[in-house]
Chain A
Amino acid sequence: MTVHPILAALRRHKAGVTLITLQIALTLAIVCNAVFIIGQRVERVNRPTGMDERNLFLIEQEWIGAPSADDPASIEKLDAMQRSDLATLRNLPDVESVATISSLPLLNSSWTGGVGLKPDQQHGTANAAYYFGDNQMLKTLGLHLIAGRNFAAGEISHRGSRGTGEPPIAIVTKALADKLFPNDSALGKTVYLDGGATPTTIIGVVARMQIPATGRWGNSFAWNSVLQPVRLDASYTRTALRAKPGRLNAAMREARKALFDANPMRVMENQPDIGIGIFPFSEIRARAYRADIGMAILMGVICVILLAVTGAGIVGLTSFWVGQRHKQIGIRRALGATRRDILRYFQTENLMIAGAGVVLGAILAVGLNLWMMQQFAMDRMSLLYVFTGVIALLALGQLAVLAPALRAAAVPPVEATRSV
């Protein structure tokens, strides 16, 4: 089939052709970028924290009337209160393990600093999040130690949460170890935390542990975590617990009751807005990624509407053209064109319009992505998205044109002899 008659026909509908081409182009540009956003969010939400998240839960509570952790006596008092709570929790039948910890991945409450290779370094070699806790952290969170050893019980120190000082030993994530010592094992090496002068020796490396922050500001060091063998004392505490398999709800109930029984003067009723309560990790995860999942759904809904509108638009416009050319189709049929020829005609016509549309759309899609990179610090879109979008829109065009084209093919040759 030659394209010449198609071009001649299209030239008679310049406005309509231009509009549908433009529509396909815009649809492609928006859908590519929206799907790209979805892809990025899905990737973010699916990244593993490095923990075994099943059966894990967190207690965030605050004692009332507890001393502020500023003088040594009150720090000792707070530490005694914390140890007593930990002992209470460790005795519960459905609790497998308990660790005091300053934060958890995805909790969005972080303590970050620079890790340097030399003492008194103004800017750290790598940014990292600090987790302060005891020797039960690895076991309770289900972290994988890939080199070195865990903290021993005797190595855990304690201090006020606003105290200062760097610990002599620490465990780091593999990502941080590789960043600090790209050519060598980090084990036994010395680092300096927070631009200080106290050396800290790396005694262990864990495979993976995400930082607490999920915001954009943490993206550059999302896997750089440092575990410090320090129990922080304050009136506000966080405790991570691992329930025995399948006993999560029971363990959470037991923990709540046991803590209130031991000391009712504490705030522990769930107030997720302000970080108080007892929460399964699944809830912490859902809270952290709610906005991302929401954005992905919103973009998905908009894509579906867009494709539906454009698909329906093609159906509508082609139907109109078929109706308009009834007589011409009849003449062609009478002159020997087969049904298949007529079908092909409309399919080719659509392919040409959609082809022009996707070429323009691909340029627009890349342009839109560049603009978003500038405006919203978005990442560069892989051309695979554009390529997939092009194929999808060409397919959508063929699908949409099928019904009207079949109707055109069904026009009988006798139509040629009828006058309007």
Chain B
Amino acid sequence: MFGYYLNLALRSLKRNPALTALMILTIAFGVAASMTTWSVFRAVSGDPIPWKSSKLFVPQIDNWGPAGHGPKDTSNEPPDAMDYTDAVALMRAHRATYQSAMYQIGAPVLPQNPGQHPITAIGEAVYGEFFPMLDVPFKYGSGWSAADDEHRAQVAVISSHLNDKAFGGGDSVGKTLNIDGHEYRVVGVLGDWNPQPQFYDVVNTGGFSAGGGNLFVPFNTAIATNMINNGNTNCVDTPKEAGFVGLQKSECVWIAFMVQLDDAAAAQRYKQFLDNYTAEQQQAGRFNWPPNNRLRDLMAWMDYEHVVPPDTRISLYVALGLLLVCLVNTTGLLLAKFLRRSSEIGVRRALGASRREIYTQFLIEAGMVGLAGGALGLVLTGFGIAGIGWVLPRDIAALAHLDVSLLITTLVVAIVATMLAGLYPALRAAAVQPAWQLKSN
């Protein structure tokens, strides 16, 4: 029967080519607009480390107290980055499975080839635990040890991109790299790893930045060699001393912090540890307010930091609105088209077709429109994704891509949506009274 219905549907669609084309185009545009914006939204709002995000947490310590909030700010949220004192204290306490303080660095790097102009590499000063904590893949070598952290070793991990630029690619482990006037030994070259958003340090990268993640050096070494922070610095009071050392002694916040806690109990214990730590600080007279700390898991943290640009969300909603209008439009057109064939339905019903059969027949016709709309929508989505770079910021547009799951989603959305649009018209068609139709003619 299915083949017969397909045949009927094809004949019917061919009978009004303009109307059919209109429906297919409507579906195609609606689906393409929503899929294009969806592909961007999916890319920026996705979980950057799905297998581990529930174990990664960002601690926040309120080292500013009430003075950190403007007169109109009633949120009572602690600052979203950490000062040097607290970051070092948390590292020393070492209460999590893995933990790393980090800050963004931007350092001039001298390429090996003479005659090549120097480049600036943007990356992070981190602890050795950063690499196992984030399951960072290495192409060559590895991260550095706790002893390297302790002894302020001049070691560096570089991205494949920087490896290509500085050494022309290859296994560069053991080679020396001149970073900011100091000789560093390369201990590791990263594999294909530049997660977007740069979830490990959203306070300094803002989430999306194509230029970062190329250079990693030990935190203590960076501090010792005066490698100044390249990201944001926020202060309630101006540091009392000048320079980078003055910043380290101040209550200004500029350091990102991430910990790995393997289960809820561990997270609970860590939160307790934070509260105890700040209570001690309060007793010592550094804070004159009660502990006000936060421990958000990675996804909650990224949500709190508004990593997904609002424009991406607005575009998606507007495109979904367009899809909805397209569906209403298709429903109207299908209804008109089906009811116009009332006499044909009457004849079929009189010849013994059941309501269910009529219903199936018309749903199949709607499905075919959906399939054609989906196929055309797929092509348009391809154009949309290719063209989105003209419209959205490059860092974000580059993340959108056409893959198998998007292909399938596009088709499924088109067919399901059109079938939904066809439900009511098909129901109306099936309800046609055969006797009435036959009589009126």
Contacts and interface: CB of A to CB of B under 8 A. Distances in A.
Contacts of A122: 67
Given A291-B311, A295-B315, A298-B391, A26 B321 contact: yes
Interface stretch (A60-68, A83-91, A93-101, A243-251): A60-68
B127 to A, nearest CB: 22
Interface string B23-34: 001100110010
B318 interface: yes
Interface string A20-31: 101100110110
Contacts of B424: 15
B145 interface: no
B244 A68 contact: yes
Contact of A30 (B26, B239, B325, B391): B325
Among B119, B120, B244, B441, which residue has the most Cβ atoms of chain A within 10 A?
B120
Nearest to B210: A273
A294 B315 CA distance: 11
Given A26-B324, A305-B29, A162 B318 contact: no
Contacts of A162: 228, 239, 242-244, 246-247
A291 B392 contact: yes
Contacts of A20: 332
B216 to A, nearest CB: 16
B291 interface: no
A194 B236 CA distance: 9
A70 B244 contact: yes
B322 interface: yes
A309 B326 contact: yes
A22 B328 contact: yes
Contacts of B70: 123
Among A163, A164, A301, A309, which residue has the most Cβ atoms of chain B within 10 A?
A309
Interface in A317-346: 317, 320-321, 323-324
B118 A266 contact: yes
A159 to B, nearest CB: 8
A29 B70 CA distance: 37
Contact of B318 (A19, A297, A299): A299
B305 to A, nearest CB: 13
A64 B118 contact: yes
Given A64-B110, A160-B243, A268-B117, A26 B328 contact: yes
A317 B120 contact: no
A313 B329 contact: yes
A276 interface: yes
Among B33, B239, B325, which residue has the most Cβ atoms of chain A within 10 A?
B325
B392 A294 contact: yes
Nearest to A234: B228
A65 B239 CA distance: 26
B29 A309 contact: yes
A135 interface: no
A301 B22 CA distance: 18
Contact of B71 (A123, A273, A316, A377): A123
B282 interface: no
B412 interface: no
A34 interface: yes
Contacts of A267: 108, 117-120
Interface in B3-34: 19, 22, 25-26, 29-30, 33
Contacts of A63: 108
B52 interface: no
A62 B108 contact: yes
A266 B110 CA distance: 10
Interface string B70-90: 110000000000000000000
A33 B238 CA distance: 43
A16 B325 contact: no
Given A267-B120, A294-B393, A309-B326, 7 more contacts: A122-B67, A162-B243, A164-B239, A195-B238, A196-B238, A310-B325, A320-B336
- Kindly list the 9 A-B residue pairs having the minimum CB-CB distance in the complex, ordered from nearest: A273-B211, A70-B243, A294-B391, A320-B336, A19-B332, A65-B181, A313-B329, A163-B242, A64-B108
